[in-house]
Amino acid sequence: MDIPAEKQRLLEEIQARADTAYAQVVGRAVSSPLKVYGLRVWEIRQIVKSWCADHEGISLQDLLPLVETLWTRQSREERLVALELLMHYRRLLPELRWTWFDHKQQDLDDWELTDVLGVGVLGPWVAHDPEQRTGHLHQLVLDEDVWSRRLGLVATVGLYRTRKEAETLSLALSLIDQVKEQQHPIITKAISWVLRVLTKDHAEQVVAYLEENEDSLPRLVVREVRNKLQTGRKNGKRVR
């Protein structure tokens, strides 16, 4: 595969959909030094879907150089395309090595890419072999870098979507235990998100966890999770 040509094809499709007004919206929501073309997520997925239709039988060996080329580019959209490519070829995710994630975490500096990598790629990767791979999530939440800690937390959302059993619940709560007293909003919001996801199938256990840890969890977390349990929404407003 001609990597430069394929990269250029994807870049041209991104540039053709550039939206300056929406780029400003994204810039306000996602603070990052990356260039923003202003594509919506559904537009990025359209580009990826079209490209993948021509490369359905691709191997990880052939795909990864393109992913790497896109990731090293300095735009939000190219990096999102790189991750969406991996997410499309879910069958290839188990073949990734931890070193790949270890390198990528060092580039993270915004919540959007962190969450897509964690939920869409790292979580499913761990799900393929949790016994051997969950240790990496514990490693991440102990990292000095706040984005690495968030990555370890939100990966449990991706893991949970594949494996909803009690072991995943226990893992998620144990990870939260390691960061629950941290007041950084990046971590606080991640804790809230993970707990709210867990309420879908493990509401009783989440209620018990809130009661046992109310004094150590950030107030925002307690409020949003209780709202989710009571109304189905984190802001407490019932859906009409």
Pick the more confident residue, 233 or 145.
145
57 and 168 inside one domain: no
pLDDT at 191: 96
Identify the band that residue 233 occupies on the pLDDT scale cut at 50, 70 and 90. confident
Token digits of residue 3 = 């990597």
4 and 46 inside one domain: yes
State mean pLDDT over 182-198: 94
131 and 169 inside one domain: yes
Domain holding 69: CATH number?
1.25.10.90
State mean pLDDT over 13-23: 96
73 and 104 inside one domain: no
Residue 156 has pLDDT above 90, yes or no: yes
Domain that holds residue 19: 1-95
Residue 240 has pLDDT above 60, yes or no: no
Task: Give the tens place of pLDDT for each residue, 72-97.
Answer: 988 999 999 999 999 999 999 999 99
Contact status, residue 105 vs residue 147, Cβ threshold 8 Å: yes
pLDDT at 239: 57
Task: Give the tens place of pLDDT for each residue, 157-173.
Answer: 999 988 877 889 999 99
114 and 82 inside one domain: no
pLDDT at 236: 57
pLDDT at 162: 87
Q: Please, which residues bridge with residue 35 across strands?
A: 75
108 and 58 inside one domain: no
Task: Determine the Cα–Cα distance for residues 85 and 217; give it in Å rounded to an integer.
Answer: 36
pLDDT at 230: 87
Residue 227 has pLDDT above 80, yes or no: yes
User: In sequence order, which residues have a C-beta less than 8 Å from that of residue 210 and are 6 or more positions away?
Assistant: 195, 217, 222, 225, 226
Task: Give the tens place of pLDDT for each residue, 132-154.
Answer: 999 999 999 999 999 999 999 99
State mean pLDDT over 40-63: 95
pLDDT at 40: 96
Fill in the DSSP letter of residue 33.
S
21 and 70 inside one domain: yes
Total domains, the chain: 2
Task: Determine the Cα–Cα distance for residues 85 and 60; give it in Å rounded to an integer.
Answer: 11
Q: What angle do CA 227, 231, 237 make, to 5 degrees?
A: 85
Single out the residue in 65, 95, 125 at which a domain terminates. 95
What would you report as the CA-atom Rg of the chain, rounded to the nearest whole angstrom?
19
Contact status, residue 14 vs residue 37, Cβ threshold 8 Å: yes
119 and 162 inside one domain: yes
Single out the residue in 95, 129, 154 at which a domain terminates. 95
130 and 168 inside one domain: yes
Single out the residue in 95, 127, 145 at which a domain terminates. 95
87 and 105 inside one domain: no
78 and 134 inside one domain: no
Identify the band that residue 237 occupies on the pLDDT scale cut at 50, 70 and 90. low
122 and 44 inside one domain: no
Average pLDDT, the chain: 93
Task: Determine the Cα–Cα distance for residues 81 and 14; give it in Å rounded to an integer.
Answer: 9
Whole-structure pTM value: 0.93
